[in-house]
Chains A and B, each alone.
Chain A
Amino acid sequence: MDLLDGSVIALADAVRTGKVSAVEIARTTESRITVRDGALHAFLSTSAMQDDARTIDERRARGETLGSLAGVPIALKDALCTRHAPTTAGSKFLDGYIPPYDATVVSRLRAADALLPGKTNMDEFAMGSSNENSAYGPCLNPWDETRTPGGSSGGSATAVAARMTTAALGSDTGGSIRQPASFTGVVGVKPTYGRVSRYGLVAFASSLDQIGPLATDVRGAARVLDVIAGHDPRDATSLTATSPNFEAACERDVRGLRIGVPDEYFGDGLDADVRTSVQVAIAALETRGCHVERVRLPHTRFAIATYYVIATAEASSNLARYDGVRFGHRAEATDLQSLYGKSRDAGFGREVKRRILLGTLVLSAGYFDAYYLKAQKVRALVARDFDQAFEKVDAIACPTSGTPAFALGERTSDPLAMYLSDACTLPASLAGLPAISVPCGPTPADLPVGLQLIGRAEDEATLFALAAACERVYPPKPARTESA
C-alpha cells in the first residue's frame, strides 16, 4: 500500500473518508515491520493493532466523527510509559517492566484515534547520540546500515525513515529528536520546554527533557504536536498557555521573516558537505522572501561542557529511583545497601554509570560551586545570547549536526567524542527553545542532512512555516531499504 509511504495527513484523510480502512493500515504496518525491521532493529516491542483498528472502522461506519490522527500509525520511543505494554527505556534495569498507566502523550494519541504499532529502540535512559548504548543492541540507519541513525531517539527516526510508521514520538534532552531526524532524513521537532506534558516519560534531565514528534513531513509533525501539546495538571512544568494551531502555521507566508545565521555553528568542525547543504537551504529560504543576516551566539562553545554538567547532575538524581525494590532489576543481597548497589551495578550499562558518577561528583561537597552552580550561570549566558539574537531575527538557521550519520563503532570508545556530536543541538536545549530539524539536500554520497531552525520560546509556529517552505524545495523521501 502506497499510503504508508505518504504523510500523516493523507493517511488520516483516507481513513476518515473511507478510502482505506484502519484495519488494512494496521495489517500493512505490521507486515512492513516484520519484513523491514529484522535488519534495522528500530522496534524493541510491537503491539497488535487490529482491535483498535476495528473499533475505528466501526465508529466510522456508524457515522461518528473520528480523531485527527484516525488510523495513523505512530510509534513510541520506549521511554514513554504504555499501560499493559513493556517499557524498558533501552535498559536491562527495566527488562520486563509493565507500567500500570499511560503517559499523557500516549493517552492523547489514543484519544485522537492513532494506531500504536510499538515501542522504539533508544540509547539506555536516552543517554547517547548513536543508539549504540541500547542494552538491546543498536538500531541501524536505513540509508546505510553501516551507520548509526543517531540517538537517542534512533529507533523512532529509523521507523519513520524506513516508512514502517508514518510518525513517531521521541524525547529530546540535548538533541535526541533532532539529531536522529537529521541522520535519517525525517522531520523532528523539539518543542519549547513545557509545551508537552512529560507525565509518564522516563525522566533523564528534568530541566531539559521534552517530548516531540518525528514524521515523514512537516505538516504531519505539526498535526501530531497539535494533539500532544497543552497543559497537563500532572506535569507542573507544562505550559498553561494555549497552543496555536501548528498545522495551520505550516501554510503561513514566510516572506519578510528574518533569519539569523550564527557564525559559531559554521566553524572548522563542520563537515564540508553539511556546510554546503545547509547554506544552499538557507539561500533557498532567502529566494522565498526571507531576510538572512549574520548573528552572534558567543557562548555556544561552552554549551557542551554546560550541558554535561547539568544533565548528568539531574540524571544522577532522577535515576536514584532505580533501587531494585519497587520495580525493575533486583540483585540478590543480604543487606539493603548492597541490594541497591548490586541491583544498580547489574542493571545499568557503562554510559549510564559514567553519567551517574559524573552527576554525583558535580553535586558533591567541594565540587558543587565550581561545576554545577557555574554551569547554571553559563547556561544563563547561553540563553541570553539567544534573547539578544531574537531582538533582531525571527528564527535562527544552522546545521542540526556537524556531520552526516557516522559509522557504527566510530565514537563508542571515546565518550567525549560522542558528547561532541551534540554541539549544534545543545544550545537550544539549554535555553528551553523550540527547534526543528528538516531535511535539506543530501550529501554527494546520498546521506541525509538536516537544517535546524531554532525559534523564540513558544514560537514553534514560525518554525513550522519555515520548515514547510524548506520542504517545498526538498520533498520528503523514504530511505532506501534492502527489502521491500
Chain B
Amino acid sequence: MITRDMVLHVAELASLSLRDDEVDALAKDLAKIVEYVDQLSAVDTEGVVAYSQRTETCVLRADEPAPGLTHEQALAQAPRSVDGGFAVPPFASALVHERS
C-alpha cells in the first residue's frame, strides 16, 4: 500500500519538493504500478544470478591526462556563477547547526 507519507518520504530521498496538490495523484499512480510489479514475486528465481547488463566487463580507457572542458566552458551553462565557481545559497551554516 502506497500512502501519502511514503510518497513524501521517497520524494525527500529523491530531492524532489512536490507541490501539495501533486502528492495524492502520484500516490494513486504509484499504488497501481506497484500492485502490477508485485507479480514478480510469483516468479521462481531460486539460484538465479542477478543480471546487470550484457557487457559484463567495462573496457576503461587508459588513465592518461588529456584536455577536457575549459573552466569557462564548464561554467557557461550554470544558471549562476561567482568568482569562477558555481553559485549556491549558503549551506555551511546549516551543516554546522546540524552537527552541534
Contact = CB atoms under 8 A, between A and B. Distances in A.
Interface of A: 97-98, 100-101, 192-194, 206-207, 231, 233-234, 236-240, 299, 302, 304-306, 308-309, 316, 320, 323-330, 333-342, 344-345, 348, 350, 353-354, 356-358, 360-362, 364, 370-371, 373-381, 383, 415-416, 419, 431-432, 457
B55 A324 contact: no
Given A194-B54, A339-B89, A358-B33, A236 B61 contact: yes
B17 A364 contact: no
Nearest to A335: B89
Nearest to B62: A233
Contacts of B80: 330
B74 to A, nearest CB: 8
A431 B79 CA distance: 40
A460 to B, nearest CB: 14
Nearest to A430: B51
A191 to B, nearest CB: 12
Interface in B77-95: 77-80, 86, 88-91, 94
Contact of A239 (B55, B69, B86, B89): B55
B43 A381 contact: yes
A364 B37 contact: no
Given A327-B77, A336-B90, A380-B51, 17 more contacts: A100-B76, A193-B53, A234-B61, A238-B59, A335-B91, A353-B18, A356-B14, A357-B16, A361-B10, A361-B30, A364-B10, A374-B40, A377-B43, A378-B45, A380-B45, A380-B49, A419-B36
B60 interface: yes
B88 to A, nearest CB: 5
Given A326-B77, A345-B18, A361-B30, A376 B40 contact: no
Task: State the majority secondary structure of interface residues on B.
Answer: loop
B12 to A, nearest CB: 8
A376 B49 CA distance: 8
Nearest to A360: B14
A354 B7 CA distance: 10
Given A239-B55, A345-B19, A354 B61 contact: no
Interface string B1-20: 00000110011011111110
A377 B51 contact: yes
B48 A380 contact: yes
Given A100-B73, A360-B14, A380-B49, A374 B41 contact: yes
B100 interface: no
Contacts of A342: 17
B28 to A, nearest CB: 10
Contacts of A373: 50
A416 B32 contact: yes
B90 to A, nearest CB: 7
Contacts of A431: 54
The 5 closest A-B pairs by CB, nearest first: A432-B54, A341-B17, A330-B79, A376-B50, A327-B77
B39 A302 contact: yes
Contacts of A326: 74, 77-78, 86
A328 B77 CA distance: 7
Task: State the majority secondary structure of interface residues on A.
Answer: helix
Nearest to A312: B33
Nearest to A338: B17
B61 A357 contact: no
A207 B51 CA distance: 10
Which residue of B7, B17, B26, B61 has the most chain A CB atoms within 10 A of its CB atom?
A: B17
A252 B12 CA distance: 55
A357 B55 contact: no
B77 to A, nearest CB: 4
Contacts of A335: 89-91, 94
Contacts of B14: 316, 320, 344, 356-357, 360
Contacts of B34: 358, 361
Contacts of B36: 304-305, 308, 416, 419
A327 B86 CA distance: 10
Given A207-B53, A305-B37, A326-B78, A236 B58 contact: yes
17 contacts: A97-B77, A193-B53, A308-B37, A325-B88, A327-B77, A344-B17, A348-B16, A353-B16, A353-B26, A356-B14, A357-B30, A364-B10, A375-B37, A376-B51, A416-B33, A432-B55, A457-B54
Contact of A193 (B29, B37, B54, B62): B54
A350 B37 CA distance: 20
B16 A356 contact: yes
Which residue of B39, B40, B62, B90 has the most chain A CB atoms within 10 A of its CB atom?
A: B40
B10 A357 contact: yes
B67 to A, nearest CB: 12
Contacts of A239: 55
Contacts of B74: 100, 326
B51 A240 contact: no
Given A192-B54, A336-B89, A354-B29, A381 B48 contact: yes
A327 B14 CA distance: 18
A233 B37 CA distance: 37
Nearest to A458: B54
Contacts of A370: 41
B40 A371 contact: yes
A236 B32 contact: no
